[in-house]
Amino acid sequence: MRDPDGLLARAGVRGNPDRDQHFLIDDRVLDRLPDYLDDADASHLLEIGAGTGALTDRLLAVADQVTVVERDPKLAAFLREEFDEEIAAGDLTVIEGDALDADLPDFSASVSNLPYGVSSEIAFRLLPEGKPLVLMFQKEFAERMAAGAGTDDYGRLSVTAQHYADVEVVETVPKEAFSPPPEVQSAVVRTTPRAPDYEVDDEAFFLDFVKAIFTQRRKTLRNAIRNTAHISGLDDADAVVDAVDEELLRRRPGTLEPSEFAELAVLAGEHGFERGEAG
């Protein structure tokens, strides 16, 4: 396997915190990341933010094909040079561009050390694809993704992520595993795609409704529904409140399971709009 420090030296770059660049250089962590895929299909792995290719090298060892997306032109050029044989053999494709805008391939799974500044946006571009993901996040963000109802970390992020997949934190990664060390600890999240155990008529409205309600997480659900109609787009919040069970209305948003939010969203769609439907 290529040495992470050697790759940095050959690339002639240093991580730049101001540009959200923290290169993962711990061999042990790098070696473990592909293993978290377990039995997932590794035929075509996608890596977002390939940097100097330390993780790319390890993905090539387990995948039939790897596609990497790198937004830094200098790093993308280095990857094309460093991995020219793998590219020539058709094993590796380098896409230079922003992962939020680039056309992504039909990948089987993704293993990525995400740029923290856009990790949320990238995660929620990948999650709806319904593919297994092994992603590195800031530890606080990772714990919020995996949190269960009734815990302090549970919120909009938890409900939204768990709408698409089972989410688990599989490893905490110390600051020293990166060059330069970030200010916070990191964590590896594994998501296993599955259909939710509930149904919603309008997924976009469901996610917007959850977002709106959690802006009032310290309020009762009754007040949260009424106070956020301008965010959720409801025409008649009072009609929604009238349709919801009184016991539920006295609870706080952070105590509701995703399935309960789904039931609420369905009621909101039936009663909260002039035409009887969301949107």
Split the chain (279 residues) into runs of 10 and give each run's mean pLDDT. 96 82 95 97 97 98 98 96 98 97 96 93 97 97 97 97 98 96 96 96 95 97 97 96 97 97 96 68
Q: How far apart are CA 266 and CA 1, in angstroms?
A: 52
Is 24 labelled as part of a ligand binding site? yes
With contact defined as beta carbons under 8 Å apart, do 108 and 39 qualify?
A: no
Is 30 labelled as part of a ligand binding site? no
Is 20 labelled as part of a ligand binding site? no
Say how many C-beta atoms besides its own lie within 10 A of residue 179's C-beta: 16
With contact defined as beta carbons under 8 Å apart, do 67 and 105 qualify?
A: yes
Residue 18, pLDDT score: 72
Say how many C-beta atoms besides its own lie within 10 A of residue 171's C-beta: 16
Element (H, E) at 65: strand 65-70
Structural domains of the chain, ranges and CATH numbers in brackets? 4-193 (3.40.50.150), 203-271 (1.10.8)
CA distances from 108 to 48, 86, 150 (A): 14, 19, 34
Residue closest to 155 by CA, chosen among 224, 249, 100, 223: 224
Is 113 labelled as part of a ligand binding site? yes
Is 247 labelled as part of a ligand binding site? no
Residue 276, pLDDT score: 43
Q: How far apart are CA 100 and CA 48, in angstroms?
A: 10
Say how many C-beta atoms besides its own lie within 10 A of residue 204's C-beta: 10
Residue 70, pLDDT score: 96
Residue 277, pLDDT score: 47
Is 70 labelled as part of a ligand binding site? yes
Which amino acid is located at 163 in the chain? Answer: H
